[in-house]
Structure 1
Amino acid sequence: MRPFGDLEAAIMAELWDRGQPATVRDVLAALNGTRSLAYITVMTVMDNLHRKGQLGREMTGRAWLYRPIRTRAEHAAALLQDVLADAGDRQAALIHFVADLDSDSVSQLRSAVEAARRRENQTRGDTA
């Protein structure tokens, strides 16, 4: 998975922040508060995001309603997985990553690892 381009990222951020499906016109109105974009530009990018599997859509009346397929957190996790897959030495990459974290982030990472282990144990039926 490739990271989003600037306009793709702005569109995805708008849809994630919105928390509900939106039309091209809705997204255009929100984005035009900070930049000047043409309807066809936003429509094309949203259609491309749909074709790439990043947005789902359903026809409502005469307009498509678009929604993100993944949450922002799920998308970020997929990007991190891709980075690790491309790193060559996963362990070295993780060591460098963790070494640059502040203590709060290390605590959050520990909690996330423990939660993932508990979830995995529950899935397998373990009680540990």
Structure 2
Amino acid sequence: MVRLGNLERAIMEALWQHPDGVFAHDLAAGLPSQPATTTVLTVLVRLSTKGLVTRERVGRAHLYRAAVEKDAVVAEAMRAALEEAGDVEAAVQRFVGTVTPKVAAALREALEARDGGQP
């Protein structure tokens, strides 16, 4: 998966909030930056090429939906960031030092589940 630019991220956030789909003109009108519909269409085509968005013809327009769940995109971004770290152990240590107890517990549970319940 690839990194997302600011407008791509904003569009994906809007699509995740509308799982039944949304039209490009409605997306453009709902974004804080109020980009032109043609700009949103260009970005939607790019996101579709990346496999992140699907579209369905409805009349003369297309209804756009997220093709992947938000947690999958976030997990991939986290994996890619760690892959770019020169010292993965140091990066993980710094990250763990900044997380809330809730996030620390989720990390612990995920690692234990991956390791078959072994602490």
TMscore range, shorter length:
0.7 to 0.9
**What is the CA deviation profile of residues 63-120 of structure 1, one whole-angstrom value per residue up to 9, with x for unaligned ones?**
222111211111000011111222233333222211222323211211222233449x
> In the alignment, what sits opposite 1:114?
112
> In the alignment, what sits opposite 1:15?
15
Q: Which amino acid aligns with 2:14?
A: E
> In the alignment, what sits opposite 1:58?
56
Deviation (angstroms), 1:49: 1.1
For 1:21 and 1:50, locate their aligned partners in 2 and report how far apart those are by CA, in whole Å.
14
> In the alignment, what sits opposite 1:29?
29
Of all paired residues, the percent bearing the same amino acid is 36
For 2:102 and 2:26, locate their aligned partners in 1 and report how far apart those are by CA, in whole Å.
37
Structure 1: gaps of 5 or more residues: 120-128
For 1:105 and 1:7, locate their aligned partners in 2 and report how far apart those are by CA, in whole Å.
27
Question: Normalised by the size of structure 1, how large is the TM-score?
Answer: 0.78
Helix, strand or coil: the match of 2:33?
Answer: coil
Specify which structure has the higher proportion of helix: 1
Helix, strand or coil: the match of 2:56?
Answer: strand
Q: Which amino acid aligns with 1:87?
A: A
> In the alignment, what sits opposite 1:5?
5
Does residue 97 of structure 1 match 2:63?
Answer: no
Number of residue pairs the alignment of both structures matches: 117
> In the alignment, what sits opposite 1:125?
none
For 2:56 and 2:102, locate their aligned partners in 1 and report how far apart those are by CA, in whole Å.
41
Larger radius of gyration, structure 1 or 2? 1
Q: Which amino acid aligns with 2:6?
A: D
Helix, strand or coil: the match of 2:63?
Answer: strand
Structure 2: gaps of 5 or more residues: none
Question: Normalised by the size of structure 2, how large is the TM-score?
Answer: 0.83
Helix, strand or coil: the match of 2:22?
Answer: coil
**What is the CA deviation profile of residues 31-81 of structure 1, one whole-angstrom value per residue up to 9, with x for unaligned ones?**
2xx333211111111111111222122222222221112111110000111
